[in-house]
Amino acid sequence: MPAGQLVGTVHAPPSATAIPGRGPNLNPANRFESIHVAPDGEWLDAEFAATGSVPHPRTQFFHDATETLLTHNNSPDVGPGWGLNCYRGCEHGCAYCFARPYHDYLGWSSGLDFETKILVKTRAPALLRAELAAKKWKPEPILMSGVTDCYQPAERHFRLTRQCLEVLAEFRQPVGILTKNFLVTRDLDLLAELARWQCVSVNVTIVTLDSDLAGKLEPRAARPEHRLRAIKLLADAGVPVGVMVAPVIPGLTDHELPGILAAAAAAGARRAGYVTLRLPYAVKDVFLQWLDDHEPGKKERVLSRIRDLRGGKLYDATFGTRLRGEGIFAEQISQMFEVACRRAGLNREETPLSVAHFRRPGGVQLELL
């Protein structure tokens, strides 16, 4: 049984009914569990036939009693580094989210459970302070939102990301932030302070400029126009900002790559990156259900393009190719990205994070050898 105190009950709708404000209405079986609980489909279908609606799943929050906050990774794809996540699970409900399978380790599902059962690390600011103050900490950049978005809707209430930024600003600890939520602009004061010491960079994720498509694909995330506005506000505040086109969905959004990069550059972005759609474990089931619900006419084209990128499969976890794919189509996307970046004036200069100004409590700057 997952740690934390349960509050409320999650109900699932009939399989053929999309849920407004949620991702795919699917809770695939946990790959580590031998028993899978499914709702009574006949009852739900009858309820929908009688009333035109079914009970919608509500978000539940659980206390995460973790004793450490910073995690180290050695991924060959992204390089070694430190991650900081205040939440596990994400309310944004993005149909393509590669992080969904992490909920399997909690005894839950990669589907609706991932976006309705959120673990909250309420002690995150205190844990961060203790870990940065420890003599064994050697300052290196930290990434926030390496797994789930640090500015997801829960942040409006819990404010853990802001409290962690206050700690980071006190220590002048460099941090990179990846988000798709306009809420990042709430913390412009702290981000601008970190930027004074070359201690912050922000990447705003944009998958599509089509607001209607974004509403279906990323139901509780900020719409594209608001993300572009966030880029402008960050740039105007002197915060180094870029755009991450992630994921590029072949056969659905890949044609938008040049337009996204041009719009982001016009808003003030100075760098860009991209990642091709990844469908590990049950993410494949969730995304296929989303295609059935929202883009059935494009499903075969999307799946065909994905297989072209993944050696005939829907996913290949091989390091070195899993983020971009391989083959002719992968090369076409790469070339399109490079040309669009040149035209938009992106990636012309590096803005590395600096540890030179890191200091311990009391205002004493760390002596770096």
Please report, for the domain that includes residue 204, its CATH number.
3.20.20.70
Whether 158 contacts 183, CB under 8 Å? no
Specify if 70 maps to a domain.
yes
Helix 299-309 to helix 328-344 angle, to the nearest 10 degrees? 100
Specify if 36 maps to a domain.
no
Specify if 28 maps to a domain.
no
| CA gap 363, 369 in Å, rounded | 19
Specify if 368 maps to a domain.
no
Specify if 364 maps to a domain.
no
Please provide residue 365's backbone torsions phi and psi, each rounded to the nearest 5 degrees. Answer: -75, 140
- Full domain range(s) for residue 271: 41-346
Q: How far is CA 79 from CA 238, 279, 338, in A?
A: 27, 21, 22
Specify if 19 maps to a domain.
no
Specify if 27 maps to a domain.
no
The 10 Å Cβ neighbour count of residue 113 is 23
At residue 345, the pLDDT reads: 98
**Radius of gyration of the CA atoms of the chain, in A:** 21
* Total of domains in the chain: 1
At residue 99, the pLDDT reads: 94
Each residue's pLDDT expressed in tens, for the chain with a length of 369 residues: 344 544 333 334 444 456 777 877 788 888 888 776 666 555 556 655 666 655 567 899 999 999 999 999 887 777 678 999 999 999 999 999 999 999 999 999 999 999 999 999 999 999 999 999 999 999 999 999 888 999 999 999 999 999 999 999 999 999 999 999 999 999 999 999 999 999 999 999 999 999 999 999 999 999 999 999 999 999 999 999 999 999 999 999 999 999 999 999 999 999 999 999 999 999 999 999 999 999 999 999 999 999 999 999 999 999 888 899 999 999 999 999 999 999 999 999 988 999 999 998 775 555 443
At residue 368, the pLDDT reads: 44
Specify if 238 maps to a domain.
yes
| CA gap 187, 191 in Å, rounded | 6
Burial of 49 from C-beta contacts in 10 A (0-12 / 13-18 / 19+): exposed
Strands 81-84 and 71-73: antiparallel
